[in-house]
Structure formats: C-alpha cells, structure tokens
Structure 1
Amino acid sequence: MVVELRVKKELIDQDGIRRALMRISHEIIEKNEGLDDIVVIGIRTRGVSLADRIAAKLKEIEGQEVQTGILDITLYRDDLTTIANQPIVHQTEIPFDITDKKIILVDDVLYTGRTVRSALDALMDLGRPKNIQLAILVDRGHRELPIRADYVGKNLPTSNQEVIDVDLEEVDGRDLVILKEYV
C-alpha cells in the first residue's frame, strides 16, 4: 500500500514568513531586554536557515551582531533506527562556548516535541547555558512531551492525518508553508 500526500492548502507565503520572523525577532529583543549574551542556534536543516534570518533581523533592528550556530541532532533522536539503516550524520557547528549564554533555539515546525528534546540533550552535552528559549515558525500541536515554544510565528492546529511542509528559499528554492494530507 502506497501512502501519498496531497496539497490541501497553502498556509503562509513569503511575506507571511518574513513578517513572522520579524515579529519573533522583536519579541526576542523585548523579552531579553536587548541582545546581551544572546546566541541563535538552528536545528538542522530548515532551523538553520530560520536562525540565520532571525540573526540578520536582530542585527537590523539593534545594530548588534549575534553569534549563530548549527545543531545536528541525528544521534540524539529516539527514533534513529526507524528513520534509516544508515542515517546521515552532519556536523554540529557551534564555534563558541554556550556556557552562560541565552540560547535561542530555532526550528521550523513544533509537533510532538521529540526533536526539541533531542536538541536540548545535544546542547547540554556542549555546555551549561544560562537559559534556552525556543523559536518556532509553525506550532501544529499534538505534543507528546511537555515542551512549549517561547516564540511562535504561527499556530496552525492540524489533525494527525495532516502534515505541515515548510519550504525555505535556502533549501527548497521558495518560501512557503503548505498543509498536506494523506490520501
């Protein structure tokens, strides 16, 4: 039996993504009363592009550069054996000490919370941050773990028969959030 996904609806266009990231950036500055000790780390793959965009917006707003990093969580996943026989492990690239930093952890979609849990485990192996704040482009609900985002671009409740696809220019050649469903 072949399971297929079909596009149900386009949810967020390029301008919507841009506005969501601008709002998240302003909220980060407001909550932290500036950018002191802030670093932005993206979860591979699309979280990295979003983290870079947020860092650029923070600089645009505050005129202050923030350090960015890339977090690969492959080896921290609890479903490692189900995703592939030989999963591809990429490198974590965080060229700075995270100890006593305020980490803005960035990903595209928050669903069960398992990806974020894996990311938290990976970060704790690298140091002891002051705190970790979570920035998500889309929160689709259905949490299995008690994880909540501090910054959300858009809450889009879904059913378990639906999937949120985030396409980003840097990875997919376009900026678009799409709702798909199993047929």
Structure 2
Amino acid sequence: MSATEHPELTKVDSAVAGLPLSPKDEKAPDKAEKKFHKRTSSQAEGVYNIKELEEKQIELTLPIETQKTGWKLNTSPSTIEDKDILKLHLVTPPVKKIDLKFPLGLEVTARNMKGVTVKDALDAIFKQFKKKADDELDKPYLAGFEWDKEESWTSLIVHQTKNGPPAAPSKKSKKKAKEEA
C-alpha cells in the first residue's frame, strides 16, 4: 500500500474523517450543552453554610458530649467507647463545613454536606495527628471544642489536655485490691 492509497473507512474512522453523524448520534451535542448543577441529594435540608449563619447572626451551640470523649488525637476516632457521640452534629444548627483551630496555629476543616458530625471533626483532626508518636504530642487528648463568636464566627477552638479520662480499673488491679483487703 502506498502513501496515497486510503484504506476503506470503518464506522469508527468515519467520525474522525468528518462524515455526518448517524441519526442516532445527532442527539449527542444537545446533551453536552446542558449544564448540570451539583446534586441536591447530597445536600440535606436544614444544613447551613457557616457564612450564612454569620450574616444572619445565628449562634452555634455544641453538644456537651464532645467535652468528655477522652479521645487521643493520634488514635482512630473509632476507639471512642461511646460510639453514639460520633453521630451527633458537631454544632447546632448543622453546617456543611467548619474550621477547627488549635492554639498553636494548626487549622483543619471538617466537612459533610449533610451536616458536620463529631466523627467528621475527629476524622479531620486524626488525619493531622495519625503519624505523630505519643511523645511528640504535648497535650495528646481532646478536651473539647469551644465556639467563640468574638474570635471567629466560622470556626471552633480545639482544646487539648495532657491527661486522658481516668482509666477503668483493669481486672488485675481489682484482684490486687481484693487480696490487700
């Protein structure tokens, strides 16, 4: 075959060669012209953008349960004993995203289009601390979150503590206590 000869065009080649589309393919350009908006099914009713709440001066409240998780920042949030806490919305009214600020300047963002939950916040924090060794953390336990509208309407302050929750006595220590008594 020389350079001037052309092989017979196949169906795939015909589109490339600029031949007219078959009637079935003529609908394709219309579909491309339609612009689709973000799926609304992923947005829950009653979940706000935090900026809207600031504009309307709607104050946030936090569930008290977040203050007593005793969660260690470099461990998975699934290690928390009371799993029900994880399902709670981090703030009321629920928001799509919120910044979590640490005292030393670190800032992480928790997001969930159906409303940021405590688990979303802990996941965002864990992502930052999972590679840190225990001795690298000055205050390794979560003490809770604080919303201070004077400092920032759109973020929460993360409080940490040196000591975790009091450890439940192990079976060995219970035995020792019985033997000593």
Q: Shared topology, TM-score over 0.5? A: no
**Between Structure 1 and Structure 2, whose CA radius of gyration is higher?**
2
Q: Which band: TM-score by shorter chain?
A: under 0.3
> Which TM-score applies when normalising by structure 2?
0.22
